């Protein structure tokens, strides 16, 4: 699932969840700051209808790799100006392979943009202290990303609900029973969610990996 930072417990609530997560569009604007996407060849890791629509409307020539970890025919080498991934492709043990795939696809000076959870927000009570600490550690100078030539920008976003009651319903739809501690803490119809945008330039990042 690339549209959202979780696999919804209730898939039927997908459209409602898409409406509330990053309701102000901060993630999209931060990514556009690394653009422009118009008239660029953009490869998206992960099937993501909302992101596909946005990039196409922005004028990108879009290629989608629906399952970056699967067996399939990859696009040609050096065919992309930008490779973009939301959560799934770089949120696990296979991310070194995905970085290698992105490097192969990118043209010289091409950019890889990766959106991941950062932590230190209202979702930490769902993630648990170990996962929250791991997310923050990933963004440090000696973490996995910065040690490979990435730079990072942390974006402070909100999930916004019509009411506190709706917030509880949608958190359960997102996370199931694990959401209960976060629901108990809701005092207003919003929830803080911080994300890290990791950006990597092919020639600079490749030099950092081998340097």
Residue 203 has pLDDT above 90, yes or no: no
Which percentage of the chain shows pLDDT scores above 70?
A: 95
Residue 6 lies in a domain: no
Q: What is the CATH number of the domain that holds 175?
A: 3.40.50.150
- 72-76, 128-132, 142-146, 206-210: least confident range: 206-210
Task: Tell me how many domains the chain contains.
Answer: 1
Structural domain of residue 162, as residue ranges?
11-210
Query: Is the pTM above the cut of 0.85?
Result: yes
Residue 3 falls inside a structural domain: no
Q: Answer whether residue 4 is part of any domain.
A: no
Residue 5, domain member (yes or no)? no
Inside any domain, residue 159: yes
Q: Give the tens place of pLDDT for each residue, 124-156.
A: 999 999 999 999 888 899 999 999 999 999 999
Name the H helices within the chain. Answer: 14-20, 26-32, 49-57, 95-105, 124-127, 129-138, 164-175, 180-185, 202-210
| CA angle, 14 then 18 then 23, to 5° | 155
Span 36-40, average pLDDT: 95
The mean of the pLDDT values for the chain is: 92
Q: Assess if residue 174 is contained within a domain.
A: yes
Interval 166-183 mean pLDDT: 97
* Predicted confidence (pLDDT) at residue 206 exceeds the cutoff of 70: no
Q: Which of 13, 18, 20, 5 is nearest to 189 (CA)?
A: 20
In a domain, 2, yes or no: no
């Amino acid at each position: 699932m690339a549209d959202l930072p979780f696999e919804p417990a209730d898939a039927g609530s997908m459209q409602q969840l898409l409406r509330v997560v990053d309701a102000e569009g901060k993630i999209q604007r931060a990514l556009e700051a690394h653009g422009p996407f118009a008239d660029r060849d953009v490869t998206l890791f992960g099937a993501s209808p909302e992101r596909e629509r946005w990039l196409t409307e922005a004028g990108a020539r879009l290629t989608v790799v629906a399952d970056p970890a699967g067996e399939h025919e990859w696009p040609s080498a050096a065919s992309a100006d930008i490779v973009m991934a939301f959560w799934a492709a770089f949120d696990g043990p296979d991310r070194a392979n995905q970085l290698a795939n992105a490097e192969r696809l990118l043209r010289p000076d091409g950019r890889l943009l990766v959106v991941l959870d950062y932590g230190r927000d209202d979702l930490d009570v769902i993630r648990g202290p170990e996962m929250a600490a791991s997310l923050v550690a990933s963004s440090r100078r000696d973490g996995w990303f910065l040690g490979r030539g990435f730079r990072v920008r942390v974006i402070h976003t909100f999930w916004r609900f019509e009411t506190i009651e709706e917030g509880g319903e949608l958190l359960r739809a997102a996370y199931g029973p694990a959401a209960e501690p976060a629901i108990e803490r809701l005092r207003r119809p919003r929830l803080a969610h911080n994300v890290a945008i990791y950006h990597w330039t092919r020639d600079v990042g490749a030099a950092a990996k081998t340097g």
